[in-house]
Amino acid sequence: MSTNKLNGLTAGMIDSISDDDLPFDIFEKICNAMPQDLDEEIAVAALNPPCQDLYLIFVFEGQVNNGGFNQYYYNTEGKFYKLLPEALRRIGAGLFADLTQQANRVYEANYHQINKFNDGTLEGFSKSYDNNPLNEFDDKFYDLYSEEDLQQLQANYIRINKHNFVD
C-alpha cells in the first residue's frame, strides 16, 4: 500500500494490510506525519508511545540490517538507543531487547573509541568499523531472527494498538 493511501487511515485499512507490508506502511505514515521543521528527537518524543516504539524499532532494524550495529549508532548519532530495549520488550521482542541492552553497554563503555572517526565523511564511516567492539553483535542480531520474527511482532503490535495509528 502506498503512503498516499494511508492518509485518513482507519482501523479497517490496518486490518486489510498484509503483515509483511504493515510495519513499513505505518513507519512511512509516521515519518510523513512528523513535522519536518522539528529536531528528530523532539518530533519522536511527541509521538504517542506505540508510534514511538514502532519508529525506534523500524529505524534500528533497518540500520542494523544495512550495516550492523556500528551503522545504527553512527547514523543515529546515538539518539534513542536508551529507549530501544523497552520498545522492543513492549512488542514482545525480549531477545532483541536483551541484545540491544548489551550493545548499549558496549557503546557507552567504548564511546570515544567508537566515535573517533565520526566526522561525517564516508572515509570516517568506513574507518569506524575497524576494531569496533560493536561488530560482535551483528551475527547475534541476525541469528535472533530464527527465534523472534521482528517483522511479525511489529505487525502484531500495530494490530493490537491500531487505535494509536489511525487518523
Write the pLDDT tens digit of every residue in 13-26. 999 999 999 999 99
Q: How far apart are CA 142 and CA 129, in angstroms?
A: 18
pTM: 0.91
Q: How far apart are CA 73 and CA 132, in angstroms?
A: 12
Q: Return the pLDDT at 25.
A: 95
Q: How far apart are CA 77 and CA 146, in angstroms?
A: 29
Write the pLDDT tens digit of every residue in 131-143. 999 999 999 999 9
Q: Which residues contact 10 (CB under 8 A, 6 or more apart)?
A: 166, 167
For residue 51, the domain's CATH number is 1.20.1420.60
Buried b (16+ CB within 10 A) or exposed e, 68-85: bbbbbbbbbebebbeebb
Q: Which residue has the higher pLDDT, 114 or 102?
A: 102
Boundaries of domain holding 151: 3-164
Domain count, the chain: 1
